[in-house]
Amino acid sequence: MSPKVRKGKKQQKGFSTLEIVMMAIVAIVHGIAMTYVALLNQVLTAAGGPILTSVIIGLFTIHGVLAMYIIRKPGAALVTCLISGVVQILAGNPNGLISMVAASSYGVGIEVAFAFFRYKRFDFITLSIAGFTSMPIWFVIAGFWFGYIKWGIGVMIIAFLVRCLSGVVLAGWTSKLIGDSLSKTGILKGFTISSYKQAA
C-alpha cells in the first residue's frame, strides 16, 4: 500500500531565496487586498457588530495558511503574516499599528496547528485546523480593542463560532484549493509542495 504522502528531497534548514520571495509576494498581494477589505470590515462591524464582521474574517488569515502549505517549513506562516502586516500599514490600513498585532496573532495561531503535527502533515484536515486556530488569539484581543465584549457573552460565543468557521473555509479550504491548483500548473516547482503527493 502506498503512503498518502510521499516525501521529496530532504529539506534544507532555513528559508531559501525562492521561498523568501514567495512569502513576500503572498504577503504583499494579501496586504494590499486586506487594506480594502478592512474598510468593508468596518462597515460590517457598524452594521452587524462582531457576528457580521466575523463572516469574512477568514480572508485575513488565508495568506499565512497558503504560505505554509506551499513552503512547509516552521515560521513560514508567521513571517508571511508579519510582512503582510507591514504592507497593510504602509498601504494605509485604517486600523493602523493594530494590524501588526493582528498579523502576529494570526501567524502564531497558524503555526500552532502545524507544529502540533511537527510540520509533517499538510492535508485537508490539517489546513482546516490551521484555519480554525488562526482565530482565537486575535478574537480575544479584538474583543477588548474594538469593544465587542459590550455585546454580551451570547453574541460573543456566536461570533467566535462564525469566525472559526470562516477561518476553516476561507483560510483552510481555500488555501488548499489555491495551492493544489497552482501546483498542478507547475508554477510551484522548486517549492516543498511540489515534492509531496497529497492524498485526495
Hey, where are the domains in the chain? 17-195
Spatial separation of the C-alpha atoms in residues 52 and 49, rounded to whole Å: 6
Residue 95's pLDDT band (boundaries 50, 70, 90)? confident
Q: Are 192 and 73 in contact (CB under 8 A)?
A: yes
pLDDT (average), residues 103-126: 97
Question: What is residue 12's predicted lDDT score, i.e. its pLDDT?
Answer: 66
Residue 10 has what DSSP assignment?
A: P
Report residue 10's pLDDT band, with 50, 70 and 90 as the boundaries.
low
Length of the chain: 200
Q: pLDDT tens digit string along 11-52?
A: 567 899 999 999 999 999 998 888 888 788 778 877 877 788
Topology (CATH) of 17-195: Arp2/3 complex 21 kDa subunit ARPC3 (1.10.1760)
